[in-house]
């Protein structure tokens, strides 16, 4: 199911007649991926669903002879057991069937490689090893929860997806329910001898602890690049599993310390009662050990493993091994030499040197203990999963169990119920010094504010200030024309006086934009007096601006602002722009006040000379010289007469 994309050669096609065959009218076999002791795995194309799959075809000779029924049942059981597992770390099984004398399974195709190749490459770091073992044990924990035992955990059955490197456990072909396998009575053992538990070899008994043992052997191999027990054949390897403890990993990889020795020793204890009872408990042990490994050790790559011996290759294959009669394994154990009887020690002598050495040893132990707890692996722990989204009491208990010191702060949150943890600093899965507290942010629930009274009728600015003053800062304002209130007055609010409102809720206000606009009459071209009368009739105020215009007759309106036929606020001001005629034409100022007449004439570019007494008595202009409309070069003098 794993391995790189494969293109068969002519020789391979000739050697394997199944390549190119259409199985069950649906699955076209493209290439052979792997061949095992029970079946051959092909890459195939599912023409019905248009996807690439792995097709596992049982060897025909296994369906013959005395063990035919057993093998057929095992092959079909793979689909039933694996199809019931829904886990990201398990290769999915889609279907099972027969085509003539062919028995097959269809499974998820996982392009890439397997763990065996990664171990041989020698680039596997301790950090990556823990990550892979975490997924393997998590997948097995899901199987064990359904009382399914895998029975064939080995590097070849851990596939690594191309590109992502995500591990997936494959080949549940040896798996069967614990209730079925716990009463095994046959005289054979089916499995991969290099990873078989001692009790499976000696008695045939298989339960969840046998999977745990296999993972322990797998961990040893990943950490050191070699198997713990090797022999000339399967029998010798099986003998070693039954009669010898797995050696400490630190004996083969000097940078690996006691935490890893203890982990592997626990997983591979020869007495199954001394192992974790299932994969879930083993997973806890793995994660606790990971917390004790310094970062600088986690990233050291493993040395490349030496090429496996023929015996090791044979031991890593799934096989049927005859199980000897009870006691045979111990009976064939080589005689152990009797340890020599030690000579009686000489009478103790009080020597000053021994006391000094004892004191120095004690100091070294104390210093080592101080380093371990203050700066070494014992000074750090990993923030456990599951401290966010639970009650603060549960989170504090989990942190304390992990050897960390919790502290908490509270803040309001509309999405997280009161008393639950919103976040943790540092986050879950991060490595943290035991002396530094882990800060839990705990929810106080929704923060409420009392809506201020009298929002409707307030000025918009005052309403905004009142809302922000009680903590309601998300404010949305829309505007409407209305004759009921002055411009900028709040005429509607989405909250009522005294309402208790979450502080993150949006408050909507509708504000008056004043009375609806009135259409400005189009007075362009009218005499200024007529235009003023028309605008005043619509209750507009009128302002006047005089400008020269080459085309519009003097005294007529050229345009207005706002333009005619446009809307303007009722009672607002409309400016009329009145033509002074072409430049050089004396404007008409008769009837104006002296001040306005002077201003108009000066804007037109003329000097002004005043005559009469109108200025003294408040009378306006009665005459000009030259008269309005006559041509006069700018800079000339216009005399204005008053009474």
How many whole angstroms separate alpha carbon 547 and alpha carbon 560?
12
Both structure tokens of 200: 């499976």
Tokens 């530094």 -> residue: 436
Q: Number of helices (H) and strands (E), helices first, in the chain?
A: 19, 31
Total Cβ atoms within 10 A of residue 326: 10
Q: Which residue of the set 24, 95, 152, 546 is catalytic?
A: 152
Both structure tokens of 107: 């499974």
CB within 8 Å of 112: residues ≥ 6 apart: 2, 3, 4, 159, 160, 161, 162, 163, 165
Burial of 10 (0-12, 13-18, 19+ CB in 10 A): exposed
- Report which of 229, 242, 222 is spatially closest to residue 136, judged by C-alpha positions: 222
How remote is the C-alpha of 413 from its chain's centroid? Answer: 21
Total Cβ atoms within 10 A of residue 77: 19
427 neighbors 387 (Cβ within 8 angstroms): no
How many whole angstroms separate alpha carbon 245 and alpha carbon 268?
8
586 neighbors 606 (Cβ within 8 angstroms): yes
40 neighbors 149 (Cβ within 8 angstroms): no
Beta bridge partner(s), residue 496: none
How many whole angstroms separate alpha carbon 528 and alpha carbon 523?
9
- Report which of 98, 34, 38 is spatially closest to residue 68, judged by C-alpha positions: 38
CB within 8 Å of 316: residues ≥ 6 apart: 116, 154, 155, 156, 192, 194, 227, 308
CB within 8 Å of 315: residues ≥ 6 apart: 192, 193, 194, 227, 230, 231, 233, 234, 237
Q: How many CA atoms lie within 13 A of 33 on its CB side?
A: 27
**Helices 208-224, 279-290: crossing angle, 10 deg rounding:** 30
User: Does the annotation mark 152 as catalytic?
Assistant: yes
SS3 string, 499-515, reads: CEEECCCCEEEEEECCC
Q: Which residues are catalytic, by number?
A: 152
């Amino acid at each position: 199911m794993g391995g790189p994309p494969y293109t068969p050669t002519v020789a391979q096609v000739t050697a394997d007649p199944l390549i190119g065959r259409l199985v069950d009218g649906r699955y076209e076999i493209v290439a052979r991926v792997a061949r095992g002791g029970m079946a051959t795995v092909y890459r195939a194309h599912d023409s019905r669903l248009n996807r690439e799959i792995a097709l596992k075809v049982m060897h025909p000779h296994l369906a013959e002879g005395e063990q035919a029924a057993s093998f057929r049942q095992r092959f079909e059981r793979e689909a039933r057991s694996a199809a019931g597992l829904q886990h990201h770390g398990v290769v999915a099984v889609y279907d099972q069937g027969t085509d003539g004398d062919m028995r097959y399974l269809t499974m998820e195709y996982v392009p890439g490689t397997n763990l065996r190749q990664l171990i041989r490459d020698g680039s596997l770091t301790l950090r990556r090893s823990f990550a892979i073992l975490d997924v393997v044990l998590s997948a097995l924990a899901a199987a064990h929860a359904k009382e399914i035992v895998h029975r064939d955990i080995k590097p070849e059955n851990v596939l690594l997806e191309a590109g992502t490197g995500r591990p997936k456990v494959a080949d549940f072909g040896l798996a069967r329910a614990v209730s079925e396998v716990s009463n095994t009575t046959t005289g054979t053992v089916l499995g991969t001898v290099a990873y078989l538990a001692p009790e499976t070899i000696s008695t045939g008994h298989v339960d969840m602890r046998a999977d745990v043992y296999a993972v322990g052997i797998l961990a040893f191999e990943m950490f050191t690049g070699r198997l713990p027990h090797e022999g000339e054949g399967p029998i010798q390897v099986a003998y070693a599993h039954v009669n010898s403890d797995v050696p400490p990993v630190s004996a083969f990889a000097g940078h690996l310390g006691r935490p890893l020795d203890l982990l592997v020793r626990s997983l591979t204890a020869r007495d199954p009662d001394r192992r974790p009872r299932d994969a879930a408990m083993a997973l806890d042990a793995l994660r606790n050990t990971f917390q004790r490994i310094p970062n600088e050790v986690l990233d050291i790559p493993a040395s490349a493993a030496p090429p496996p011996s023929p015996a090791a290759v044979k031991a890593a294959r799934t096989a049927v091994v005859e199980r000897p009669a009870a006691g045979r394994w111990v009976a064939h154990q080589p005689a152990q030499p009797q340890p020599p009887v030690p000579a009686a020690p000489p009478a103790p002598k009080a020597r000053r040197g021994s006391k000094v050495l004892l004191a120095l040893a004690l100091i070294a132990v104390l210093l080592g203990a101080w380093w371990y707890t203050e700066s070494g692996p014992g000074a750090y722990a990993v923030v456990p999963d599951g401290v966010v989204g639970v009650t603060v009491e549960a989170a504090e208990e989990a942190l304390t169990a992990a050897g960390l010191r919790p502290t908490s702060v509270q803040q309001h949150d509309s999405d997280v119920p009161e008393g639950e943890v919103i976040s943790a600093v540092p986050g879950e899965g991060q490595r943290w010094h035991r002396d530094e507290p882990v800060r839990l942010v705990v929810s106080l629930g929704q923060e409420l504010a009392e809506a201020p009274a009298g929002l409707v009728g307030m000025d918009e600015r005052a309403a905004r200030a009142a809302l922000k003053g009680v903590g309601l800062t998300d404010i949305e304002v829309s505007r409407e024309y209305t004759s009921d209130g002055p411009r900028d007055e709040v005429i509607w609010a989405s909250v009522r006086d005294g309402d208790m409102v979450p502080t993150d809720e949006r408050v909507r206000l509708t504000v008056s934009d004043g009375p609806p606009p009135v259409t400005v009459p189009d007075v362009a071209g009218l005499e200024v007096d007529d235009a003023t009368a028309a605008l005043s009739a619509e209750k507009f105020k009128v302002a006047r601006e005089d400008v020269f215009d080459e085309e519009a007759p003097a005294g007529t309106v050229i345009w207005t602002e706002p333009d005619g036929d446009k809307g303007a606020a009722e009672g607002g001001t409309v400016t009329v722009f009145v033509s002074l005629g072409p430049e050089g034409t004396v404007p008409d100022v008769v009837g104006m006040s002296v001040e306005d007449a002077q201003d108009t004439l000066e804007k037109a570019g003329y000097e002004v000379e005043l005559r009469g007494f109108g200025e003294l008595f408040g009378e306006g202009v009665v005459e000009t010289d030259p008269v309005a409309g006559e041509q006069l070069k700018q800079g000339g003098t216009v005399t204005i007469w008053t009474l």
